[in-house]
Structure 1
Amino acid sequence: MSLELKAGPTSLDRLETALARMQQKHGFSRVDRENPQFPAGLAALLLTDDPQRNLEILDACVILPEALNGLGADVARLVAGPEAAPALMQRFAVARAPAVVFLRDGDYLGSLNGIRDWQEYRDEIARLAAGPARPRPIAIPVRDAGQTGACA
């Protein structure tokens, strides 16, 4: 009997599985890289990256759908995969993923970076969702995973 060895899933494969689950089970929509569209009303946008750089990415894919349940069905659930996230991170001045950006009618409400204690996470989500629009932060350069050297 011969045993065939084959490589397991990569970190990006695991992320794609998590994003597909978010779309199928929790009603998230994937943001288009070339033309990101933000719906009217309240929207929560999860920005991701390769989980090999930060394991919290996969945690956020599980935690965020549950945390958004407290807002009811009135919040549009969006996710940007690692191909679309760098430009959106720059646009909303997010230094690293995972981060959740909250928008109302396309206006910036604020962002939540990283993973926190469950109650703190839920409280911050409720605060941002209920808050007024703020000026969009000044965009910051974000290094694309494929680049080497200086920031773009």
Structure 2
Amino acid sequence: MATIGTSGSGTINKPAEEVWKFMADPALLHHWVKDIESGGEWINGGTDGVVGSRYRVDYSYGRKTNEIVFEVTASESPRRFAVNTVSGPYPITADYILASANDGQSTDVKFEMVARSDSKFTAVMFLLTGWFAGYFMKRQLNKELVDLQVAMSAGVHSE
């Protein structure tokens, strides 16, 4: 299986507890994660504070929308939140590490993301374009951190 991975960081001008709650809420993902058009939802009684909990989102790419189910692999409020896809196309692992800045009013966010191939075709494509795709993946993830800041500053919250 081929992979493409990237990492990066940014600062959100909100306290770590608020940032963690926002990032760990699938109903808010569409406000800051590209190609998620509407809020996700916890399934099978899942919740943000429990490793093993699952949530679903509708992910649009190209002209197709696919359901993707994520499983929480780390949940340490307000320091870390990590997920892994368990069904749907586009298998990924995402890990977000949060640290309160010295002022206590802003949060440094570090992320790592790994996309895994889901077929022989994507494995070949990853091998051929991985160096290039990783750059764009990192650029998009950094933009999502900016979008996270914008959404939080606008007072967006779960219904």
TM norm structure 1: 0.28
Q: Which has the higher contact order (CA 8 A, sep 6+)?
A: 2
Greater fraction strand: 2
When Rg is computed on C-alpha atoms for both structures, the one with the higher figure is 1
TM norm structure 2: 0.27
